[in-house]
Amino acid sequence: MPSQREIRRRIGSVKNIKQITRAMQFVAASKLKRAQDATLQARPYREKLDEVIADVAAVLSHEDHPLLARREGGTRLLVLFTTDRGLAGSLNTNTIRHISREVAESTGDIRVVTVGRKGTAAMRRARVPVAAAFDGFGDKPDFASVLPLTRLITDDFLAGTYSRIDLVHPKFVSTLVQRPVVEALLPIEPSADTVGIPGNQFLWEPSASTVLEQLLPRYVATRIFQAVLETTASEQSSRMVAMRNATDNAQELIEDLTLTYNKVRQANITREMIEIATGARAL
């Protein structure tokens, strides 16, 4: 059985860890509100833009803009979003496991662009070809920060390097639930529900190609930015929950160690009293 000094030392160490995890919990909670608001406020714009682009794609073809082109075969690109730092529970593990299934089930060539150091390290360990690697965009991502990634993806698709591009990222559902998803990005999928689409009654000013030249790149950037916001909100919520669980576990460990310390202390006192009584009887 450990000595009283060893148990006191362990209790002190666990108390220090508890203070750290509790502080990290509060920091994540303060960042979560801002990240959650940004994610939820951006969703209606992205959803309406998705709807408009899908309707446009239903009545136009690749002749109007190359981002609408559909190619058979070719290389598929997966854009993986993870965090730069750990201590976020199972968030990164679940997302990496999700993309690993996509890679294993795919029959064609696959390459990956990673956003976040955790995803980059995991893909390199798995020997999945990494076309490009980006660090995360921080706790306060802005729209301008995703433009280099958007330009890289768009240029590669226009050059015919990839026939299909998908986004893989955790989707923020609630504080306790973050679900990894795979979302198609390019080519743009036309709307399956053509009821109500005016077809050739669309009026383009100055022309369809000119409008799409401005609209489609912004659509790609918006989808990527939404994935970044979803990842940021998921990271903060997962870290807050993980640090809260760590704090609770530390408190339970402190209570167990305190109980053990009291038992050892009581046993030492009893032994000393027996030794004193034995010595007095011997005299």
Helix (H) or strand (E) holding 7: helix 4-59
pLDDT confidence of residue 48 = 84
Residue 74 has a pLDDT of 80
| Residue 9: per-residue pLDDT | 86
Q: What is the pTM of this model?
A: 0.82
Name the 3-class secondary structure at 14. Answer: helix
Residue 204 has what pLDDT? 66
- Amino acid identity at 37: D
| Burial degree of 208 (CB within 10 A; 0-12, 13-18, 19+) | middle
- All residue ranges of the chain with pLDDT < 50 are 199-200
Cβ count within 10 A of residue 217? 16
pLDDT, position 80: 92
